[in-house]
Amino acid sequence: MCTWPIWGWIDVEAKRVLGSRLFLAVLAGLLVLNCFFFLYQRPDTWEEPLVDGDVYHERLEALSDKSWEEALAWCVQYQEDASKAMFEEKWDFDSEAEEIRIAAGVLQKQYEHLLGYQDYLDGVQRYAKLLQSVSLFSQPGTFAYENTVKTARDFARMDGVEVTSGHDLAVTEFFADKWTDYSILILICVVCGLFVAERKEGLWPMVHAASGGRWRFALRRTLILLAAAWISTGILVGARVLLCGMEYHGLGEWGRTLQSIPMFHNVPIPMTIGQFWLFYITVKAMGAFMIGLVLWMMLSAISNIGLALCAAGLVLGVEFACMAIPSSSMFAPARYVNIFSYVDFTAVFTRYLNISVFGTLVAGSDLVLVILPFLCAVFIGWNLLIAQCKRPITRMNRLLKWLDWIAKKLSPYFARGGEICKLLIKRRGILLLILLVLVVQRFEAPPRAYVAWDPFIQFYQEKYAGPITMEKLALMEEDLATCMDMYNREGLQIVLDDAKSAPEGAWIVPSEPYDAIWSNNEENHHRNTALIAMLFLVLILAPIAAQERQNGMTVLLRSTSGGRKRLMLRKQLLLVALAAVVWALVYGTELHRTIEEYGAFSCLRAPAYSMTLFRDMGLSAPLGLTIGVYYGAKLLIMVAIGEVCYYLSSCCTKNRDAMLLCGGVLLIPAALAAIGSGIGEYLSFLLPLGGIELIL
């Protein structure tokens, strides 16, 4: 028996919620996904390229014996030399030199910040005095004057604080994406969903009638929600912090001053990196707790779960709209006293801005912190009050009557599309499709292998596009003889050599869009895209066969001819339709982004062996047909994935078990294959769905 009174008081409900298979499975899955996204899916753009951790560490160590001025000069000089070699000579790509160039660019910003930080602090003081000499800012008691005084006073605390060089990326790369923030929110939503499980089981009247089933039970759940917020934040944020430290060799630098990192130059609070991590985890955990209290309050106050979710969506929409309020507006406090301030706390923390609250100047980040305990206390009180007063059985309000009237009017249409409604409406599949639409909006065009002469090659491919003839080769030779520019000569020479080596009947084709969709998984694009398609298809289809078993309808369906034959046919048609919808969203967006980035697919009637990729195969089918077959094969593979999902779902008696089984069999091997695991490649559909790697 448990000897700790508090734990003994809450352990039964805690085991049901925090020890449930759903909570643990979601926590484990999100932890794996967060580690995967950090290691293999961090943003890598031309403006902010991904830096190799080992190269970054080696360059930083090599510069540690130099002064900051000398180190900065080396970074600038190396980048100039690399650019000169790239654009003024015949350049062969050197991956090692490119990694050093990228690291030098990052280190240059670090050393510029270190050298200029004290000047920045001095500038704040000078600027404050300068503003006070202007009439608009010179009147004591006004917001403008008090703002300059408070700014100067806050930043004066940083005088004498020593900044040092170190592995800044071990901290800043933590904030490269928002997956950790979203993962914490998902776990909090799971916990709140488990809190209202007694309604689904029909146990709410019994719980409410019990002596401890109201405010005391709600108090237990408050402690459980607090524990869930700390567990999810500690595990997910902690794992990400450790990965950042190991990847960029910064675990031993938690004693550095936080302001040594350029990202935090506007933070006027002396603290070390270690203190910042402790502070950040605390704020994130309590912010997640507060958001959980808000969601739980709405789920408790509104008996109809669908209506409660609509209310939650409305509240989130209003809160998100408040984030667009200008900082100079009188309503600016609503921008900071906001749920999203706790979702993306870093944006608030790193921006110094004073706000007038009832005539008192308060920094925006301080306002968020001060209001957090108050909000938690208020929402705890509301949840306890709702649990005490909200009755399971009461008169239906007008809104629910209106919704029931609408449902009655639509019921004939729902009856006709029964399987669609069950999967998309009752099982919330439509929400996943909406989420997929939002995800594909962030897709970028497939990257292709970069060659220094690409713009010139593309120019001449477009100029001479069409069937290769002796006359066209002669024109190209004449053009080459009169071309004086080195870059144009090189591009034209490459196009001419390729045309001469092409088999009879080949065309000159503007190749950039084709190279993109058949780019041999450049930057892991094709595997990542396939993983997203599989993820949403499996999540939507997992309950397709298990839902009848969960509702105890299997015996009834088996005893009718329609349940054995027509139901199967309807489910199969629905499966194919949903696979086609997911395929169209994912790969239709891929084609659209490719055309936007590289131009339209021209010369579709050209034989496929016009492309170097298909030359050894001797593939003579038109390029248009080849693209159609390529993407059509992806659709067939997605249908096959759906069939496997249907079989696995039919083996389960609960939708939750079907989700876990389908995820374990189909998604985990696919995720392993996406990160390059040989076992995952053999056991998953990811490689066939990626497509191009099998061709090559």
* Secondary structure (DSSP) of 491-557: HHHHHHHHHHHSPTT-EE---HHHHHHTSSSGGGHHHHHHHHHHHHHHHHHTTTTHHHHHTT-HHHH
In a domain, residue 171? The reply is: no
d(CA 401, CA 380): 30
- Res. 536: pLDDT tops 60: yes
Residue 1 has pLDDT above 50, yes or no: no
Phi, psi dihedral angles at 455 (to 5 degrees): -60, -35
Q: Say which range, 237-251, 629-643, 658-672, has the weakest mean pLDDT.
A: 658-672
For residues 177 and 181, give the distance between their C-alpha atoms in angstroms, rounded to a whole number.
9
Q: How much is the pLDDT for 10?
A: 53
Q: Which of 483, 510, 537 is the last residue of a domain?
A: 510
Q: Which domain holds residue 82?
A: 53-156
pLDDT mean over 139-159: 82
User: What's the chain's average pLDDT?
Assistant: 82
Give the mean model confidence (pLDDT) for residues 232-250. Answer: 93
Looking at the structure of the chain, the number of domains it has is 4
Residue 693 is predicted with a pLDDT of: 64
- Among left, alpha and beta (phi > 0; psi -120 to 50; other), residue 521 is left
The reply to whether 631 and 665 lie within a common domain is yes
One-letter amino acid for residue 648 of the chain: L
Q: Which two tokens stand for residue 15?
A: 């085991």
Residues 313 and 379 in one domain: yes
8 A C-beta contact, residue 258 and residue 264: yes
> Given a cut of 60, is residue 413 above it in pLDDT?
no
Answer whether residue 165 is part of any domain.
no
Q: Is residue 467 part of a domain?
A: yes
How many Cα atoms within 13 Å fall on the side-chain side of residue 640? 11
> Please, which contacts does 191-194 make with residues 24 or more away whose CB atoms are closer than 8 Å?
191/17, 191/18, 191/23, 191/224, 191/225, 191/228, 191/292, 192/225, 192/292, 192/295, 192/296, 192/299, 193/299, 194/16, 194/17, 194/20, 194/22, 194/23
Tell me which of 591 and 546 has the higher pLDDT. Answer: 591
Lowest mean pLDDT: which of 9-13, 145-149, 569-573? 9-13
Residue 1 lies in a domain: no
Q: Is 471 domain-assigned?
A: yes
Q: Do 544 and 690 have their domain in common?
A: yes
Same domain, 536 and 680: yes
User: Would the pLDDT of 261 be above 90?
Assistant: yes
589 vs 178, higher pLDDT: 589
What is the pLDDT, as a whole number, of residue 7? 47
pTM of this structure = 0.71
pLDDT of residue 3: 45
Q: Taking 70 as the threshold, does the pLDDT of residue 250 lie above it? A: yes
Q: Are residues 228 and 326 in the same domain?
A: yes
The angle formed by the CA atoms of residues 357, 363 and 366, to the nearest 5 degrees, is 95
Give the per-residue pLDDT at 380: 94
Region 189-218 average pLDDT:
76
Lowest mean pLDDT segment, chosen from 3-7, 341-345, 457-461: 3-7
Quick one: which H or E segment has residue 360?
Answer: strand 360-363
Indicate if 489 and 439 belong to the same structural domain.
no
Question: Which residue, 487, 510, 533, sits at the end of a domain?
Answer: 510
| pLDDT interval class at 256 (50, 70, 90) | very high
Hey, is 84 helix, strand or coil?
Answer: helix
Q: Is residue 111 part of a domain?
A: yes
Q: Is residue 164 part of a domain?
A: no
My answer on whether 333 and 237 are in the same domain is yes
In terms of domains, do 495 and 607 share one?
Answer: no
Residue 6 pLDDT: 47
Bigger pLDDT: 452 vs 124? 124
- Does residue 319 sit in the same domain as residue 356? yes
- Same domain flag for 31 and 82: no
Position 47 in a domain: no
Among 87-101, 475-489, 501-515, 608-622, name the one with the lowest average pLDDT: 87-101
Question: The tokens of 230 are what?
Answer: 């700390």
Residues 467 and 574 in one domain: no
Q: What pLDDT, on the 0 to 100 scale, is given for residue 417?
A: 53
- 435 and 503 co-located in one domain: no
Domain boundary among 463, 479, 510: 510
Q: How far apart are CA 192 and CA 299, in angstroms?
A: 8
